[in-house]
Amino acid sequence: MSKAAKRREAQQEAVGPTKKQIRLSRREAQQRRLILLFTVVVTVLVVGILGFGLLNEQVIKPRQPVAIADGEEISTAAFQARVRFARLNLIAQLRNIYQQAQDPQLQAIFQSYMQSLLNQLNDPTQIGRDVLNQMIDEVLIRHEANRRGITVSAEEVQERLEQQFGFYRHGTPTPTATATATITPTATATPLVTNTPTHTPTPLPSPTGTLTPTATLAPTAVITQTATPFPTFTPFPTPTVVTEEGFKELLAQQLELWRSINFTEADYRKLVEAELYDERLREVFNRDVPTREDHIMGAWMAFETEEGAKAVLDRLSQGEPFDKLAGEVRARTIVSATTGELPWTPVVDLAPRFGDEVQQAVSSTAAGQHTNIIAGSGNLWYIFNITGHEERDLDPQTLRQRQNDHFQRWLDDQRSTKVQFMDYWESRVPQDPAVPPDLVNANPVGAASPPPGVPYAAPPADALGGRRSTFSLP
């Protein structure tokens, strides 16, 4: 560099940067600040969005209710845990059927059961609906029980839990007939809280005659009942009685299995508690149900036309025995008619089969008398011959049905006034755990055993972990 150039540079340094250089420097600094600010803002926004998403999924959503029953919220977290528990038990039942379906003669039956279970597992919304209805029932029952002074202690829950695993600290009870099924867990089974079953009344007898030419006059017995528990299978053997150490080992195995679906021991104890509340509240309601009702016994004839009924009624009025005329119906001497016997039957059970008019007429007919012609269900004309009419004790099966109906009517009333559903409940239904691949298209006959450690069986109880409601969500 020449001496002149060095002098100019020294002079410039002494004078300082030019205005242009200052402007450029300031602009560059401002740009750097804006870039830094923008980077910070974007980073904060991204972190905030991710953080809110995590907070929403992990904290806010789990606490949001999917339904409110009698003022108590049913949280998303509790609901999802129960749905996963139900799915796990359905899969366990599917595995159990898969393992037992080795007899070629039973192939069709087992395949039908397996397909039914697969259909349920492939409909997560329906499982969610059933579970939510069940949880609502549990809240309503517990609240009503508490209002009536009924409580369940932690010690009672513990004792029932032990019994479900086959441990009886006060000695093995003597088996007795009871309406409540027993939970039967095994070392690899998932124990479930049983439900109080709804019993099907014995259908009224079918007619012994047939119509001419082709019509079938006798109406089908249609005594309705609430839905059966979900799902229903033939009970498996009861568990082997175990020691306290054996109980603890079995419970630990179950807790390890449930850990995969975030279902805790506390969650299961709530199910046991709900079962006890259900039993005790039902006992109170059962006391309100009469054990005796008006019964009738006899026989009936049904006719396609009123003219045919009038012809038979005229012969009855002339003194011909009812049994003789019923025999002619059976022999088809009297055509377009049918006849049937009626064992001791509660009068109120006649309406679902024959119609309200028949029930009203029969209820006012004394033993040893026959009715006039009655227009009944199915566009048929009836004549009843009453051979017995008295108040009698209800048979155990019918009494249980009356008690269940009484309790169900109360529960339906509670649901209609004390339940609110959140619009988003369906979006909160989990679809896991998934059906294992080896069970999706399983062929039960000649199938290989599943890998070790996979739970084989589930007890013959409601997969929802308690009574199943017949209530339907909107």
Report the chain (474 residues): mean pLDDT per 10 consecutive residues: 64 64 76 80 75 64 90 94 94 86 72 86 94 96 96 95 90 54 36 38 37 35 35 42 89 92 93 96 96 96 95 95 94 92 96 95 95 94 96 96 96 94 93 87 49 36 40 36
Phi first, then psi, for residue 420 (nearest 5°) are: -130, 135
Neighbours of 237 (CB within 10 A): 8
| Among 445, 384, 436, CA closest to 121 | 436
Phi first, then psi, for residue 301 (nearest 5°) are: -130, 140
Confidence at residue 409, expressed as pLDDT on a 0 to 100 scale: 96
Confidence at residue 232, expressed as pLDDT on a 0 to 100 scale: 33
The answer to whether residues 196 and 286 touch, using CB atoms and an 8 Å cutoff, is: no
β-strand pairing of 369-370 with 337-346:
unpaired
The answer to whether residues 103 and 113 touch, using CB atoms and an 8 Å cutoff, is: no
- Integer Cα distance of 153 and 183 in angstroms: 20
Q: Tokens 């839905």 identify what position? A: 227
Residues 6+ apart with CB under 8 A from 79: 66, 67, 128, 131, 132, 135, 425, 428
Confidence at residue 37, expressed as pLDDT on a 0 to 100 scale: 80
Q: Tokens 């602009």 identify what position? A: 27
- Integer Cα distance of 135 and 31 in angstroms: 60
DSSP string, 405-424: HHHHHHHHHHHHHHEEE-TT
- Integer Cα distance of 350 and 296 in angstroms: 10
- Alpha helices for 432-473 (secondary structure H): 437-440
Confidence at residue 44, expressed as pLDDT on a 0 to 100 scale: 77
Peptide bond connecting 433 to the previous residue in cis, omega within 30 degrees of 0: yes
Confidence at residue 447, expressed as pLDDT on a 0 to 100 scale: 41
The answer to whether residues 163 and 275 touch, using CB atoms and an 8 Å cutoff, is: no
| Among 448, 451, 422, CA closest to 436 | 451
Confidence at residue 230, expressed as pLDDT on a 0 to 100 scale: 38
Neighbours of 217 (CB within 10 A): 22
- Map residue 54 onto helix, strand or coil: helix
